[in-house]
Amino acid sequence: MSAVESPLQGTIVSIDVRPGDAVRAGAPLLVMESMKMEHVVAAEIGGVVTSVDVEVGQTVFPGDPLLTVDAAGGPDDALAPVEQADVDLDHIRPDLAAVLDRHAMGMDDRRPEAVARRRATGQRTTRENVDDLCDPGSFVEYGPLVIAAQRRRRPVDDLIARTPADGMVGGVGTVNGARTIVMSYDYTVLAGTQGLQNHRKKDRLFELAERLRLPVVFFTEGGGGRPGDTDGAGVSGLDCLAFALFGGLSGLVPLVGITSGRCFAGNAAILGCCDVIIATEGSNIGMGGPAMIEGGGLGVYEPEEIGPMSVQVPNGVVDVAVADEAEAVAVAKQYLSYFQGRWPEWECADQRLLRRAVPENRLRAYEIRTVIDTLADTGTVLELRPRFGVGIVTSFVRVEGRPLGVIANNPLHLGGAIDADGADKASRFMQLCDAFDIPVLFLCDTPGFMVGPEAEKTALVRHVSRMFVTGASMTVPFFTIVVRKGYGLGAQSMAGGSFKAPVFCVAWPTGEFGGMGLEGAVKLGFRKELEAVADEAERQALFEEMVARMYEHGKALNTSTYFEIDDVIDPADSRRWISAALESAPPVAARTGKKRPNIDTW
């Protein structure tokens, strides 16, 4: 005899056997209910039921006898356990079928009209962009079943069909093998506007980005705040957390913004918070769209008139302008790669090409981007804001697989003089590199800061001084190579404030140095001597002779004898200097918080 005892406290809801029934091991005997859950009590051994000691509706406690089974009294096959039925692993139960169908309703193949609208504008769908950015099969979506908060004005079935994900697809995937928060407004859903529920979805993902220290890539196309949601409680919605949470991520994790088409108001604010903005040809970016402008009594404009790329690229809002969304995704992947560590494989150009990169004629302009392309690992240069602050070139590169930021003077613009826009561009790039532990290389060829009445109208004093205070605050290793001109305060700003501030400060043989440009120094320092020569031709000859003497005094070889710089090097050895310095730097310490409070949006 074997007594079957109650395994828990509960109520008997059904009894499946009677005395005299033969049972096999594993066969159900009765069902109990406990805390609204049903529990099946099965036979532990095969045999014959000799007694049932409970009745339906009876409450029992752990250890109470339920029934008795005699293992010896049953038929020959009673001891054989109940065979488990074969399970069809492909069977879809009705509850699962309903879930799968609801998910499918938001997919492109169930929304042909929405897809057609994107094709008509030459754009991709939101999900096509997300799938292209993320490594195959890696994207896990949060909140795909969310609908617009408009139940008071529209049927739920209509909202399910027409507002999938409340117009924002977001989740976690991998980009280049690294976990990344990926988010995208969907312009086919209520013009990609910011609804009540997709604001909550943003809050959720921004908090995850902060908690998990994950970079964020955000496709921001859309029309801003949505006035048509009816299901919330409140007046203005200005207590939403999204902008505070997203702004708080600045300097903590890399933030990449991508836009195509129209991006206005709140969507543009999200875009503007990003470390880098990638925008496609034909995009429009503005803090207000046509309706807001007209509502403010400021005139009537077409969307295409507001913040076109012809404005937003040269003014510095857009970091990288691309042809289409496919190129935008490719650039985003490349940008993120610089924050994902060293590449094990690389190749580079023949470094002897650098020996001829700077003309022997010290007055001849040249293309500094050729120097950068040659110096960097092949195919690894990504320039930011090339049409803004054109006197400075800022690029991410790799040297022997290591990520590196490059800040270079552009002698094709104002002879390499640093103006207000160039200083702003360089200062922000320094912040960006420092915040995420990317070393910086300065390629110096500048006659100094720009001067003159017109330059001062740009608040030059404040703007160029940003380079000093930002450079002094950097903790990443940084290096300076003077490729030609190293004059005055501008040259010092290209070395963190002093030629002794970088890990190394070296010059190429073409380097030349002085407290200011040679011609200006002669005119200022030897004015009386020049004015004393009455004949104009003789005065000019004396001037040129003095300039030549100062050049001999300030050229790199002579400057190195005073140890104002660390060495004059063969340009072909530049990568060796950079690599040696990077190898010498201590490993980056793991951080639990921010290194800098934030990265300036400008």
Higher pLDDT, 332 or 77: 332
Specify the pLDDT at position 235: 74
Q: What share of the chain is helix, strand, coil (3-state, %, to 5)?
A: 35, 20, 40
Specify the pLDDT at position 82: 62
Residue 411 has pLDDT above 80, yes or no: yes
Specify the pLDDT at position 83: 64
Specify the pLDDT at position 81: 63
Q: Could you tell me the pLDDT band of residue 515, with boundaries at 50, 70 and 90?
A: confident
**Cα gap 41→26, rounded to integer Å:** 9
Helix (H) / strand (E) element for 243: namely helix 242-248
Residues 262, 265, 266: CA angle, nearest 5 degrees: 110
Q: Do domains 96-337 and 351-511+555-584 have the same CATH topology?
A: yes
Tens-digit pLDDT profile for residues 137-147: 999 999 999 99
Say what the pTM is: 0.89
Mean pLDDT, rounded, for 497-526: 88
Tens-digit pLDDT profile for residues 228-260: 888 877 777 788 889 999 999 999 999 999 999
Contact by Cβ (8 Å): 282, 309:
yes
Specify the pLDDT at position 62: 97
* Average pLDDT score over the chain: 93
Specify the pLDDT at position 64: 96
Positive or negative: CA dihedral 242, 156, 114, 136: positive
Mean pLDDT, rounded, for 49-78: 86
Using CA atoms in the order 568, 571, 575, 579, what is the torsion angle rounded to 10 degrees?
-10
**CA separation, residue 301 to residues 158, 295, 297, 305, 313 (Å):** 32, 11, 11, 6, 20
Q: Which residues lie across from 531 on neighbouring strands?
A: none
**Domain ranges for the chain:** 2-79, 96-337, 351-511+555-584, 516-554
Q: Could you tell me the pLDDT band of residue 84, with boundaries at 50, 70 and 90?
A: low
Specify the pLDDT at position 18: 95
Specify the pLDDT at position 76: 52
Determine the topology of domain 96-337 in CATH.
2-enoyl-CoA Hydratase; Chain A, domain 1 (3.90.226)
Specify the pLDDT at position 519: 74
User: Closest Cα partner for 28 from 67, 58, 86?
Assistant: 67
Q: Could you tell me the pLDDT band of residue 586, with boundaries at 50, 70 and 90?
A: confident
Q: What is the residue type of 393?
A: V
* Region for residue 305 given its phi and psi (left: phi exceeds 0; alpha: psi -120 to 50; beta: otherwise): alpha
Task: Give the right CATH number for 351-511+555-584 from 3.90.226.10, 3.90.105.10, 3.30.1330.10, 1.10.3720.10.
Answer: 3.90.226.10
Alpha helices in 307-393 (DSSP H): 309-312, 325-337, 368-375
Task: Give the right CATH number for 2-79 from 3.30.70.1060, 3.40.50.150, 3.40.30.10, 2.40.50.100.
Answer: 2.40.50.100
Q: Which residues lie across from 170 on neighbouring strands?
A: 142, 183
Mean pLDDT, rounded, for 566-571: 98
Residue 75 has pLDDT above 60, yes or no: no
**Cα gap 145→196, rounded to integer Å:** 14
Mean pLDDT, rounded, for 524-535: 82
With tokens 């407004």, the residue in question is: 185
Tens-digit pLDDT profile for residues 277-292: 999 999 999 999 998 8
Contact by Cβ (8 Å): 211, 253:
no
Specify the pLDDT at position 77: 54
Least trusted range by pLDDT, from 148-162, 399-413, 430-444: 148-162
Burial class of residue 33, CB neighbours in 10 A (0-12, 13-18, 19+): middle
Tens-digit pLDDT profile for residues 389-398: 999 999 999 9
Specify the pLDDT at position 531: 83
The share of the chain scoring above pLDDT 90, in percent, equals: 82
Specify the pLDDT at position 172: 98
Specify the pLDDT at position 73: 59
